[in-house]
Structure 1
């Protein structure tokens, strides 16, 4: 068992937490995410209506939109956390050009390859609660990404928990860290 919670970025970095949600697989889907500084301060967020798709595509869109927002906000030293090990693995591995997700994976890789430092990492859902809430909240938004200058009222208690270091017990399997 391990205590899992949001982990702030190191000084000089920003943390992007991104998550996708699909109400069915496939089903109506959305994405959400937040950009925060080392003290947990909200720097920006997003929700995105994606349409009908699979859970893994919603996760990949969440990562893409999280990177897009962070770039647009001007941050250039970034740690992005997702609770989808599969999405991270798909981004890190090379695939045949006819892979069903090839276009989106290439968009994400091009975004990561811009003039900045990006580290991709896996976190458990307990460390990604704000993005999880935003992704579920996104299901009521129209298609496309919608930037959030301020946090929605419903997510504020989760942000406060993260700043206070609230953790949750979880059974975890020891693996090596995935970064890019």
Structure 2
């Protein structure tokens, strides 16, 4: 068992947590993001209805929209964490131009390659609870992104847990290729 918690960014960085959700595979899908400072303070976020999609496609849309909003908010030193190891791997590896997600993967690579520092990383769901909550609640939103200037009331206790460093136990297998 390993204790997992939200990991704050280093001083000078912002932490972006993203998550995608699909009610079916494929099925109605959505995405969510939270941007936080080193103390865990809410800097922004979104929920987005993305139509019908697979779980991994919802994760990729969450990352893309997350980069878009973070850029718009003016943050230029960014650690982006997703609980989809598969989505992170797809972004980091090169694929055939006929790959079903090639266009979106290229958009993500182009956006993250702009004039800023972006570090993509995997986190477990226990360290991504705010984005997970946002993505699940995005399933009731119409198509499109809704920027959140303030946190929804439902995520406030999760934000407080993260700030206090609350941990959750998880079985972690070394060198696991799990997508959480």
> Could you tell me how far apart the structure 2 residues matched to 1:101 and 1:77 are?
26
> Could you tell me how far apart the structure 2 residues matched to 1:42 and 1:137 are?
18
- Shift in Å, 1:113: 0.5
Deviations 1:38-97 (A, max 9, x none): 000000000000001100000000000111110000000000000000000000000000
- Shift in Å, 1:107: 0.4
After TM superposition, the score normalised by the length of structure 1 is 0.96
> Could you tell me how far apart the structure 1 residues matched to 2:161 and 2:131 are?
13
Q: Tell whether 2:75 aligns with 1:79.
A: no
Q: 1:69 maps to what in 2? A: 69
> Could you tell me how far apart the structure 2 residues matched to 1:52 and 1:175 are?
32
Helix, strand or coil for the counterpart of 1:17? strand
- Shift in Å, 1:174: 2.4
Helix, strand or coil for the counterpart of 1:74? coil
> Could you tell me how far apart the structure 2 residues matched to 1:53 and 1:3 are?
32
Q: Tell whether 2:127 aligns with 1:144.
A: no
Runs of 4+ aligned structure 1 residues displaced above 3 Å come to none
- Shift in Å, 1:126: 0.1
Q: 2:173 maps to what in 1? A: 173
Matches within 5 A, 1:12-161: 12-161=12-161
> Could you tell me how far apart the structure 2 residues matched to 1:175 and 1:17 are?
22
> Could you tell me how far apart the structure 2 residues matched to 1:175 and 1:38 are?
28
Helix, strand or coil for the counterpart of 1:99? coil
> Could you tell me how far apart the structure 2 residues matched to 1:149 and 1:140 are?
19
Aligned length: 176
Gaps of 5+ in 1: none
CA RMSD of aligned residues (A): 0.9
Deviations 1:124-159 (A, max 9, x none): 000000000000010111111110000000110000
Gaps of 5+ in 2: none
